[in-house]
Amino acid sequence: MSGIRTIAILIGTAWRAAPATLVWAVVAATVSAVASATFPVGFHSMVDGALDHRSGEVVVGVVVVALLFSVATTVGTLSVTGNWTLTDRLNRFVSERIALLVSTAPRLEHFERQDLLSEIDQLRGDRRTLAAAPRQLLRAWQVVIRSGAIMVLLATVYPPVMLMPLFGLIPALADRRAARVQARTSDDLAPVQRLIGDLFTLATTAGTAKELRTYGVTGALAARHAALTEDARRRDVRGAIRSAAWEALGWTGYAVAFVAAIIVLVLRAAHGHTSPGQVVMAISLMRRAQSQVAGASDTAGSLATALRTARRLRWLEGYVAEETRAPATARVPDRLRAGIRLEGVGFHYPEKTDDVLHDLTVDLPAGATIAVVGENGAGKTTLAKLLTGMYRPTAGRILIDGIDLAALSPDEWRARTTAVFQDFLRPSLVAREAVGIGDLPRADDEEAVRTALTAAGGDGLAARLPEGLATPLGRWFTGGEQLSGGQWQRIALARGLMRSEPLLTVLDEPTASLDPAAEAELFGRFAELSRSGRRAGGVTLLVSHRFSTVRTADLIIVLDGGRITEVGDHETLLAQGGGYAQLFTLQARAYETG
Ligand SMILES: Nc1ncnc2c1ncn2[C@@H]1O[C@H](COP(=O)(O)OP(=O)(O)OP(=O)(O)O)[C@@H](O)[C@H]1O
């Protein structure tokens, strides 16, 4: 039912978007259906008139056929443009809706879980079938009209043959079965198709080209792509054969009924119960009934796919609504007084059982700058993702001035945080926007953008760009400016500085392309902003492997295998002589000797 509701919503959308086009489409479909079903009436008069030498009857027959046939084809052809206009508008509506839903889901679970990814992939792939649903409904409406008209006319010849269109149900049902077989095959193939798509993107994208060539893995990738494609093709063909077998079975059943009806009519004509003209008309009508059946089963198949897609869209709406319906039993505080507290926080990624964070308990005081250090895979980025609300802890709580983060609206919390991640965006926008989207309401505020760029150490960058802040960036623009890794990082950092009073600032190794001195200077600037109190008691969290930067933080958290092993400032941790002290000494010695 939920699918039918979605299609009703689509029709409502078509009505709002183009009422005149919708009315015209319905009227044209009705007129052309009636005319195309009834023109064989003329055959009756033509044949019987010719056999009985009644020329007037022949002329009437010819005029009826010519008139109805022309109306059917002309109106039918003219209605096609309107139908496509409708489909186009709905396609845009559906595509925009899907993009909006996927990108506004507040958390990232749907990008991790295979089952959710499959649903979203299928929805993306089949969205056109959904947009075509009102067009398919019009076709179904035409099938009903034509079949009704054909049955009435057949009843005038010999009532039992009016049942002929009903035999069309046999192939229609078989076709539905075939469509289900195909749908199951494509559902089964979705994960492998995704993998094939990933490999193709990997092999054809500029960003990966350097590494692929360096390691000489292009051949191996191509072989893997070919093997997966071949496997998918085989499974696809198997599905197609099974579905074709169902179709063939259905049509054989229909053919038997069709031939039986012709034999009955010819025998009745031979015994003088039916005129030859009626037999010709009846055969023509039954032939048309057959094409109605073919149309009906096509339409039924397309509508079944559209309904499935509609159900997926409803599922996505429900999923996003569920995700967005945060209890929001509390408001995000204007400023932090105590700070952020992690209380027994544990976490495992969706569909994984192993915890990547274990029982983290620590206070991040208001206004403090905190560095998180640890080996690769220790859980630093995961911690940053939990603090920014991208994921919810699977154990324990994160308290914002004593308020559970789970009780806050994710959007409201995110509006008061800012973050720069390792894999930051390189948006194809003009420079001003690439920075400005860090605080959308001020995206065009040139002054704010310049201030953020300066704070990120990128003031020289704007001066070097040929059109200053109006310079388009990235390879997707014709003539777009190609920036170096370090320059993109300055843009990303400036973006992270656009929000004026964030309660949380996360810098997750966004400075890998900068030298240690530049990184330390930058972090110092962030720390200064926090301490100066301009940042509403906000906490700044830096993830870095460089101890020269880390040492300046108010508090250092050492993570090892997802557990906190040491907490304290640089002096305290050095004095403790633990893992931090050892790593610091090693890195300092490497700098001295290097
Ligand atoms: N999206 C994900 N799905 C499943 N597991 C993940 C995901 N992201 C990270 N992990 C796992 O979680 C663990 C912690 O990863 P995380 O990225 O938090 O480490 P990190 O300390 O930031 O590492 P690095 O210093 O290399 O950036 C790793 O074992 C990693 O394999």
**What residues does each domain of the chain span?**
2-324, 332-416+503-594, 428-500
| Mean pLDDT of the 510-532 span | 72
The CA-atom distances, in angstroms, between 29 and each of 9, 192, 306, 544 are 21, 41, 20, 66
The amino acid present at 219, given as its one-letter code, is: G
Tens-place pLDDT, residues 421-431? 887 888 878 88
Whole-number Å distance, alpha carbon 539 to ligand 1 midpoint, is 23
Compute the Cα dihedral for 580, 582, 583, 588 and give only its sign.
positive
Q: Which residue has the higher pLDDT, 289 or 503?
A: 503
Per-residue pLDDT, 99: 83
Higher-pLDDT residue of 316 and 142 is 142
Q: Is 381 in the pocket of ligand 1 (CB under 6 A)?
A: yes
Q: Bigger pLDDT: 350 or 99? A: 99
- Predicted local confidence at residue 193, as pLDDT: 87
Which pLDDT score, from 0 to 100, does residue 477 have? Answer: 64
* pLDDT value of position 93: 82
Confidence grade of residue 104 (pLDDT, cut at 50, 70, 90): confident
Taking residues 217-233, report their average pLDDT.
86
Q: Is the pLDDT of residue 593 over 60?
A: no
The answer, yes or no, to whether residue 75 has pLDDT greater than 90, is: no
Task: Give the range among 205-219, 363-377, 502-516, 533-547 with minimum mean pLDDT.
Answer: 205-219
The pLDDT of residue 138 is above 70: yes
Q: Is 111 in the pocket of ligand 1 (CB under 6 A)?
A: no
pLDDT, tens only, 441-486: 888 888 889 888 888 887 788 888 888 888 888 766 666 778 888 8
Provide the pLDDT for residue 194.
Answer: 84
Complex ipTM value: 0.96
Query: Is the distance from the beta carbon of residue 560 to the nearest atom of ligand 1 less than 6 Å?
Result: no
Is the Cβ–Cβ distance between 483 and 466 less than 8 Å? no
Q: Does domain 2-324 have CATH number 1.20.1560.10?
A: yes
Q: Closest residue (by CA) to atom 3 of ligand 1?
A: 349
Annotation: CATH topology of 332-416+503-594: Rossmann fold (3.40.50)
Give the mutation target among 110, 356, 421, 424 for probing the ligand 1 site: most ligand atoms within 8 A of CB: 356
Give the residue whose CA is nearest to atom 7 of ligand 1.
349
Q: What share of the chain is helix, strand, coil (3-state, %, to 5)?
A: 70, 10, 20
Q: What is the pLDDT of residue 361?
A: 95
Ligand 1 contact via 353 beta carbon (within 6 Å): no
Query: At 491, which helix (H) or strand (E)?
Result: helix 485-496
Give yes or no for residue 544 CB within 6 A of ligand 1: no
Looking from the CA of residue 378, the nearest atom of ligand 1 is 21
* pLDDT average, residue stretch 68-78: 86
What per-residue confidence (pLDDT) applies to 2?
A: 57
- pLDDT exceeds cutoff 80 at 205: no
pLDDT, mean over the chain: 83
Query: Residue 48 pLDDT more than 70?
Result: yes
Asked whether 333 lines ligand 1 (CB < 6 A), one says no
Distance CA 522, CA 549 (A): 9
